[in-house]
Amino acid sequence: DGGITQSPKYLFRKEGQNVTLSCEQNLNHDAMYWYRQDPGQGLRLIYYSQIVNDFQKGDIAEGYSVSREKKESFPLTVTSAQKNPTAFYLCASRTGGFRGNQPQHFGDGTRLSIL
Amino acid sequence: SQKIEQNSEALNIQEGKTATLTCNYTNYSPAYLQWYRQDPGRGPVFLLLIRENEKEKRKERLKVTFDTTLKQSLFHITASQPADSATYLCAPVGQAGTALIFGKGTTLSVSS
């Protein structure tokens, strides 16, 4: 079945460590997104990519980095510069183009906690 | 700045009743409005999209309205069931929408 796979489901980070969250899709979508969800905060956009080898910062990009070397993959690195990384991270994708009528498809998230 | 408000964080109704969820937006002129359902510990799932020139859209027990004058969308679930219990998110998006901006969501609880 086509879809988005995020791994791991749960992730623990020690202070000062960088961690990388995986996101893979087999929907042949051009655009991919990373969101952060905190209780009572809704979804906030971290980074997005419209095409391979290109990505843009979202509203809360500080302390995060991404790469888009392959169409299917959009990993997110939470760096030690991110002071409050505990959250639920969601990856999404959609077909390309600048059309607002395309829905986003989401993975089932990675929950990151600080040890 | 753009602002999206969804009515009260929680909505409790009895099975069989109609649930009505509200999405208001300001400083924004979306061409589309999308609705998603999110279950605990899962990613959101797309439900419905309505265009600015559509007044109403239906899908099975779901109905969405879009009033660009009031800057509001209403999401209705008729004959609600306990399985409809979830958080519902709205996302207004422009014609050239590169990324979605979501409301905080309304958590619906349907009791039997």
Cβ distance of A106 and B96 shorter than 8 Å = no
Mutate to test the interface with A, among B23, B98, B102 (most CBs of A within 10 A): B98
Could you report the per-residue pLDDT of B4-16, keeping only the tens digit for each? 889 767 899 999 9
DSSP string, A81-92: T-S---EEEEEE
Residue in A4, A35, A103 nearest the CB of B34: A103
- Please state, in angstroms and rounded to a whole number, the distance separating the CA atoms of residues A44 and A36: 5
- Please state, in angstroms and rounded to a whole number, the distance separating the CA atoms of residues B91 and A62: 24
Could you report the per-residue pLDDT of B24-74, keeping only the tens digit for each? 999 888 889 999 999 999 999 999 999 999 989 999 999 999 999 999 999
* A27 Cβ under 8 Å from any chain B Cβ: no
